[in-house]
């Protein structure tokens, strides 16, 4: 009896191993090139590490991610074009550089669109996010998950910016992006497009008065050494997109596709959490050396009213449907 039970146990164990081996047989040996413009110590690094762990566990180590950091393998836009051509697998990029490929993504550059992270998560992870995913897929890109770049805030060397009128007379570096240029010009600032690598020196020499970025970027770029005032404007929120080449995606089997989506979504959880924790930590550190002021919800609303012409001018270019998808989703989130 004992001998028979031992044989049955051995057969069950062997069957389990065979089933496990059979499951792993669905995955081919793959090393996926993953590029992005941030450094490995950025919260994106936490997300990528989680993706690597999920792939290792689910595929028996067959599917691996080889990450390239700090633009070491080229900028986000060239990498995205390589995905479209099918010569590279993955990139994590902000939505802003992609508006030339998918114009509808310009919706996320519109000022004062989201009030907080909860709104952004609800919109991006719901039907509105799927709407943009379909636009991306039509352009040869598969978005596996929305990660977080975060809210942008203002620093300058002249004065606190607490109300709409305080933008007047501030010479401000902005991204080389028409919506950002229009937004700050409409608010009364002297908006100057400039590459990010030139910003610190321009601030140090007072060629410009200020710039705008998330707290983590402000701290890690040491802008507090050349800027006195930090205004928590939260004037724009931009997501990161974890993109896969559509051409190469179509060569994967359904199991490989499913595990990559799962890995990206698990990565999303830890990346967003890390980004928010690090932003709070960066703000606390910046408070030690800078004069920090919060912009009230009422003043944010006044600023939004003032930049309505930016919406009127840019919405037709972005697409009224795309902007409507986001604003309708926001109304639902806000209970309207």
Flag whether pLDDT at 289 surpasses 50: yes
Q: What is the pLDDT of residue 8?
A: 47
- Phi, psi dihedral angles at 243 (to 5 degrees): -105, 145
- CA dist 199 and 207 (Å) reads 9
Contact (CB, 8 A) for 90 and 120: no
Flag whether pLDDT at 3 surpasses 80: no
Flag whether pLDDT at 2 surpasses 60: no
Per-residue tokens: 70: 């700090």
Closest CA to 211 of 219, 220, 200: 200
Tens of pLDDT, residue by residue over 127-154, are 999 999 999 999 999 999 999 999 999 9
Domains of the chain: 28-333 (3.40.190.170)
- For 124, 134, 236, 334, the CA distances from 127, given in Å and listed in that order, are 8, 11, 21, 16
pLDDT-based confidence at residue 4 (cuts at 50, 70, 90): low
Q: Which residues contact 54 (CB under 8 A, 6 or more apart)?
A: 259, 262, 263, 266, 267
- For 156, 209, 228, 283, 288, the CA distances from 204, given in Å and listed in that order, are 11, 9, 11, 21, 20
Flag whether pLDDT at 236 surpasses 60: yes
Tens of pLDDT, residue by residue over 49-82, are 999 999 999 999 999 999 998 888 777 889 999 9
The residue-averaged pLDDT of 286-290 equals 98
Tens of pLDDT, residue by residue over 95-106, are 988 999 999 999
State percent of the chain over pLDDT 90: 82
- CA dist 227 and 229 (Å) reads 6
Q: What is the pLDDT of residue 74?
A: 76
The residue-averaged pLDDT of 201-224 equals 94
């Amino acid at each position: 009896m004992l001998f028979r039970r031992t044989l049955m146990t051995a057969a069950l164990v062997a069957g389990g191993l065979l089933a496990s081996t059979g499951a792993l047989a669905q995955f081919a040996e793959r090393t996926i090139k993953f590029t992005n413009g941030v450094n490995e110590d950025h919260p994106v690094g936490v997300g990528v590490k989680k993706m690597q762990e999920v792939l290792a566990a689910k595929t028996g180590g067959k599917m691996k991610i080889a990450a390239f950091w700090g633009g070491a393998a080229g900028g986000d836009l060239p990498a995205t074009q390589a995905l479209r051509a099918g010569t590279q697998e993955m990139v994590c990029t902000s939505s802003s550089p992609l508006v030339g490929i998918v114009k509808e993504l310009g919706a996320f550059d519109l000022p004062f669109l989201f009030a907080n992270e909860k709104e952004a998560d609800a919109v991006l992870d719901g039907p509105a996010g799927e709407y943009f995913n379909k636009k991306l897929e039509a352009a040869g890109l598969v978005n596996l998950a929305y990660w977080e770049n975060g809210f942008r805030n203002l620093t300058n060397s002249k004065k606190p910016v607490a109300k709409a009128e305080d933008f007047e007379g501030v010479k401000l570096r902005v991204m080389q992006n028409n919506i950002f240029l229009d937004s700050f010009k409409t608010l009364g600032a002297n908006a100057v497009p400039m590459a990010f690598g030139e910003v610190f020196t321009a601030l140090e020499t007072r060629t410009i008065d200020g710039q705008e970025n998330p707290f983590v970027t402000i701290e890690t770029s040491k802008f507090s050494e050349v800027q006195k005032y930090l205004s928590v404007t939260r004037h724009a929120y931009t997501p990161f997109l974890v993109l896969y080449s559509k051409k190469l995606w179509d060569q994967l089997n359904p199991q490989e596709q499913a595990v990559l989506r799962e890995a990206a979504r698990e990565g999303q959880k830890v990346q967003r959490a890390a980004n928010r924790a690090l932003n709070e930590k960066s703000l606390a550190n910046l408070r030690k050396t800078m004069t920090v002021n919060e912009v009230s919800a009422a003043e944010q609303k006044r600023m939004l009213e003032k930049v309505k012409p930016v919406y009127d001018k840019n919405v037709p270019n972005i697409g009224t449907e795309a902007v409507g998808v986001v604003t309708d989703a926001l109304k639902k989130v806000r209970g309207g």
